[in-house]
Amino acid sequence: MRIGLIGSGGREHAIAKILAKNRGRDSLYVYGSHLNPGIQKLAALSSVGSMQDVETMKDFFTGNKVELVVVGPEVPLIAGVSDRLRRQGIRVMGPTQAQAHLEGDKVFMRDLLRRRVQKGSPQWKEVRDVETARNFIREVGQVAVKPIGLTGGKGVSVMGVHFQTIDEALERVQTSLEQDGVVLLEERLIGEEFSRMAFVADGKIMGMPVAQDFKYAYDGDQGGMTGGMGAYSMADGSMPFLTKDDLQEADLILQLTVNAIEEETGAGYRGFLYGQFITTAHGVRVIEYNVRLGDPEAINMMALLDTDAPEFFGELADGQLRKENAAFLPQASVCKYLVPAAYPQSGSEKIVVNLKDEDVNQEGFSIIYASIIEKPQGLETLGARALAVVGIGTDAGNISAGIEALLGRIEPATLRHRKDIGDVQIIQKKVRKMESLRKGM
Ligand code: GLY
């Protein structure tokens, strides 16, 4: 069977690895926004084009007689690639364009939860003028200001974190209003965030192990927001700062959301659904939904997924979810991205990196390529997250320490990473934080 993959980042390299496992490179056809050297090695053919150009994607996959397509990023889903490919008789692992609004339109998502799920949201308001924003902030106190569309994980700003005063909030509101004519304001939530991603088909969800993404640029959550500097997951599939009820509640909200979006759109949801949740002193809330896998979290999950992925993804694309056909290794995982020193600021593009797969692929670790291309002089960064190291094992702390030892030997001087992802003391701090919040301290 010929399998197609859309996307060329770290998430898609991780997906490509599991699709090519046991199948070889003859079966994989990839359409991405750049030629990822890791994916290229696994694919029969790689093509480069716009992530919005649904017609060209359709031509690429039909022309190469691809039968099943797995969609990595959100942009092609929001552009309607699943609908277009299905009309050609191609099986697609990805929700429809209408369902992708869950990620593409934050007001749609909150409104759907209000009308059909009736749980999981903080106080929120769709705002079209500054006066309404001012009144809402006076009513709820601290807020998050959220542009309604896609922001690559970097557009949301939170009072008390990214800015302090009502006037600063209103400046951000004004900027979004000038751009979009509308902005979403939400009550600020205090707690610990977690990523619960699920396979979805046949009206059901199958949750993956919980992961936690580290979004800030530097150790100790310093610096600006990034697409995610790395993530960890624990061997028991949950997080030490989560209660059993938290996880059950997150899964209930996910299931009710699937029911809601299917009722709303009149179609079965087939693909990945990623709930970015937060546990607070008052329970679990949805921060946002993504209709794709998280990046970096996908790198952790694909390293743990212990199944025949083409077979399982094919069943999901056909609207079947047989939980017995997929399993995750009962192990912990840690993924750390290596980025150009200036990231998330631009200006450090085109760094040549001399690092080989063999340098990393030892002692249970593996390398994932992302925003990097192959040039005659070596690998050249494109400016964003360049490559990642992922490891699995019995506990996150040991894996994190192992990655540190490895990177201490091989990390190119031009790249940097966060050392504290998966660190035991950081995880313990999160547990104590949640204990205090729950006790009302
Ligand atoms: N981990 C953040 C994202 O994928 O959006």
pLDDT in tens, 241-260: 999 999 999 999 999 999 99
Substitution site in 197, 233, 274, 302 for ligand 1 pocket (most atoms within 8 Å of beta carbon): 274
pLDDT reading at 349 higher than 80: no
pLDDT bracket for residue 388 (50, 70, 90): very high
Gap between the Cα atoms of 164 and 184, Å rounded: 18
pLDDT for position 287: 96
CATH top class, domain 3-94 = alpha beta
Other C-beta atoms lying within 10 Å of the C-beta of residue 86? 17
Nearest to 193 by CA among 115, 258, 114, 274: 274
Q: 35-52, pLDDT tens digit by residue?
A: 999 999 999 999 999 999
pLDDT for position 154: 66
Please state the domain extents for the chain.
3-94, 123-187, 191-426
Atom of ligand 1 nearest to the CA of 294: 4
Ligand 1 pocket: which residues have CB below 6 Å? 153, 213, 228, 290, 294-295, 297
Residue 153's region, left for phi above 0, alpha for psi from -120 to 50, else beta, is: left
Gap between the Cα atoms of 441 and 433, Å rounded: 9
Q: Average pLDDT of 69-93?
A: 98
Task: Please state whether the predicted TM-score (pTM) of the whole model is above 0.85.
Answer: yes
Rounded to the nearest whole angstrom, what is the distance from the C-alpha of residue 105 to the centroid of ligand 1?
A: 16
Name the CATH superfamily housing domain 191-426.
Answer: ATP-grasp fold, B domain (3.30.470.20)
Rounded to the nearest whole angstrom, what is the distance from the C-alpha of residue 369 to the centroid of ligand 1?
A: 17
Name the CATH superfamily housing domain 123-187.
Answer: ATP-grasp fold, A domain (3.30.1490.20)
